[in-house]
Amino acid sequence: MENVKENKMGTAPMLPLIISMSVPAMISMLVQALYNIVDSVFVSRVSESALTAVSLAFPVQTLLIAFSVGSAVGVNSLVARKLGEHDRAAASSAATHGMVMSVILSIPFMIFALFGVEGFARAFAQTEGTAVMCADYLRIVSICAAFVFVEIAAEKILQATGNMVWPMIMQLTGAITNIILDPIFIFGYFGVPAMGVTGAAVATVIGQAVACLVALIVLFVKDHEVDITLRGFRFRWSVIRNIYAVGIPSVVMQAIGAVMTMCMNAVLGGFSETAVAVFGVYFKVQSFIFMPVFGLTAGIMPIMGYNFGARNKKRMMDALKYCLLISVIIMFLGTLIFQFMPDKLLMIFGASETMMSIGVVAFRIISICFVPAALGISFSTLYQAVGSGVYSMVLSLARQLCVLVPCAFVLAQLGGLNATWFAFPIAEVASFLVALVFFARLNHTTLSKMEAHH
């Protein structure tokens, strides 16, 4: 029985396997995207400075997620590879290390909550009122960082064993709890005092705590391919090294987004505040197109890692082909929506005439990058799955920083605001070409040698 369960990723027909593993991840990613928008909509009803306060807190939250997800992706990759090698003890050791590290990594955020939030808020806020709201929000979210770290580690460990349904349930319980509690704590219903921005933070943390509780119950009560045992636990440097060979590049990849947003806001701020607002709205809306692709890759990465560990090159390459095909289809549909309905998308956020005139052009130009992005993201997933996390990191740096920001800066000087948006397609095409070079190298050093073993 255990064997049948254990080998799903090595034996099941590829397309049904991918669908069964990716759809739950896609659903939970879409809920995350929805919840980010809903959160902003509720807070914006309090006041504009409340929305600004939460926006200022966003880079710290992005970093918190970057460290938790990045570290957990390293655990996920190692657990899947060890299961593929049929080394259950090593997979369990990797999972246990991952859970312990998730608690340790949350400690710096707790220290920041106690000593750093006021200074951070005052450095970025224009008014005292906004600074106070930002600090209150960040203090609550950061002091409870462990909930996020533990829940995400549990989620990625389960995904590595091929179980995608429980991680979806964990994320859904957290997000739905948050969406229900948001208006109650922000505006004060059912006898709860109205807490404004602080209420948004409290609702967020309760949602995270609920998700974390579900995660711990699932991890320790139900049977899985890995066993997490803390009794007699000792750190093993080799396991930590293997986790963070993929984990550190993954943390960097996750954190790049925060840096890129700050740089792009600086470039666009040179034109107008509306240009910055358009970019903010674009990011919220595009997450609905990109999140299904990230859900797809979350489902496919353990399959690639498992079959890499099992030395089954054919199945691993089949998974890559499906990843490329499905992600291109999703992104192509996304491109059509952005090309033909940009005005409808902007109206969701009550766009002014100025915002509409900037936004329609921006959406049409930026969306040219969607299909090349799908190709780059698919190859990046393969590199993470086989333990070559540095390749993925370099691709992300190219996509979101090294090509994008200098291009945007130069185009802004030479061609004005509308030209600036072309930085996105240029960056995606450039990074896809880099991905192909990396693939040729990986094929030469590693993949070509797999044939002999099967």
Task: Answer yes or no: is pLDDT of 385 > 80.
Answer: yes
Q: Where are the alpha helices (DSSP H) in 225-369?
A: 237-269, 273-309, 313-340, 342-347, 353-366
Higher pLDDT, 160 or 409: 409
Round to whole Å and give the CA distance between 64 and 251.
10
Identity (one letter) of the amino acid at 436?
L
Q: What digits encode the pLDDT tens for the residues 57-83?
A: 777 787 888 888 888 888 888 888 888
> CB neighbours (10 Å) of residue 356?
16
Higher pLDDT, 350 or 378: 378
Q: What digits encode the pLDDT tens for the residues 31-43?
A: 777 776 777 778 7
Higher pLDDT, 248 or 203: 203
Tell me the pLDDT of the chain averaged across its residues.
Answer: 84
Q: What digits encode the pLDDT tens for the residues 95-116?
A: 888 888 888 989 999 998 888 8
| Domain boundaries of the chain, sorted by first residue | 27-235, 252-454
pLDDT at 124: 64
Task: Answer yes or no: is pLDDT of 452 > 50.
Answer: no
pLDDT interval class at 429 (50, 70, 90): very high
Letter string b/e over residues 188-227, b meaning 16 or more CB atoms within 10 A of that residue's CB: eeeeeeebbbbbbbbbbbbbbbbbbbbbbebbeeeebbbe
Q: What digits encode the pLDDT tens for the residues 351-368?
A: 678 888 888 999 999 999
Round to whole Å and give the CA distance between 192 and 188.
5
307: exposed, middle or buried (C-beta count within 10 Å: 0-12, 13-18, 19+)?
buried
Task: Answer yes or no: is pLDDT of 320 > 90.
Answer: yes
Round to whole Å and give the CA distance between 157 and 99.
9
pLDDT at 450: 73
Q: Do the Cβ atoms of 276 and 262 come closer than 8 Å?
A: no
Q: Which residue do the tokens 């009560």 mark?
A: 221
Q: How many alpha carbons fall within 13 Å on the CB side of residue 434?
A: 23
Q: What is the pTM of this model?
A: 0.76
pLDDT at 113: 87
DSSP string of 183-225, one letter each residue: HIIIII-TTPPP-THHHHHHHHHHHHHHHHHHHHHHHHHS--S
pLDDT interval class at 50 (50, 70, 90): confident
Round to whole Å and give the CA distance between 279 and 361.
12
Q: Which two tokens stand for residue 60?
A: 């710290």
pLDDT at 5: 47
Q: Which residue do the tokens 């353990």 mark?
A: 302
Give me the torsion for CA of 364, 365, 371, 374, rounded to 10°.
Answer: -100
Identity (one letter) of the amino acid at 127?
T
Task: Give percent above pLDDT 70 in the chain.
Answer: 94
Q: Which two tokens stand for residue 98?
A: 């991952």
Q: Which residue do the tokens 């090509």 mark?
A: 403
The percent helix, strand, coil of the chain (3-state, each to 5) is 85, 0, 15
pLDDT at 4: 39
pLDDT at 67: 86
pLDDT at 370: 95
Of 17-21, 129-133, 229-233, 257-261, give the range with the top mean pLDDT. 17-21
Residue 127 parent element (H or E): none
Q: What digits encode the pLDDT tens for the residues 76-92?
A: 888 888 888 888 888 88
357: exposed, middle or buried (C-beta count within 10 Å: 0-12, 13-18, 19+)?
middle
Task: Answer yes or no: is pLDDT of 205 > 80.
Answer: yes
Q: List the beta strands (DSSP E) in 93-251.
A: none
Q: Do the Cβ atoms of 438 and 378 come closer than 8 Å?
A: no
Q: Which residue do the tokens 């919840």 mark?
A: 35
Q: What digits encode the pLDDT tens for the residues 229-282?
A: 778 778 888 888 888 877 887 788 778 887 887 788 778 878 876 777 778 778
Round to whole Å and give the CA distance between 446 and 157.
25
pLDDT interval class at 419 (50, 70, 90): very high
Task: Answer yes or no: is pLDDT of 173 > 70.
Answer: yes
pLDDT at 48: 63
pLDDT at 453: 46
Q: Which residue do the tokens 């880099």 mark?
A: 434
pLDDT at 87: 82
Chain centroid, CA 270 distance in Å: 29
Higher pLDDT, 390 or 430: 430
Identity (one letter) of the amino acid at 80?
A
* Distances from the Cα of 222 to the Cα of 135, 147, 232, 293, 359, angstroms: 39, 20, 21, 29, 49
DSSP string of 100-116, one letter each residue: HHHHHHHHHHHHHHHHT
DSSP string of 396-454, one letter each residue: HHIIIIITHHHHHHHHHHHHHHHHHTTHHHHHHHHHHHHHHHHHHHHHHHTGGGTGGG-
Round to whole Å and give the CA distance between 119 and 405.
28
Q: Which two tokens stand for residue 77?
A: 């990759």
Identity (one letter) of the amino acid at 81?
R
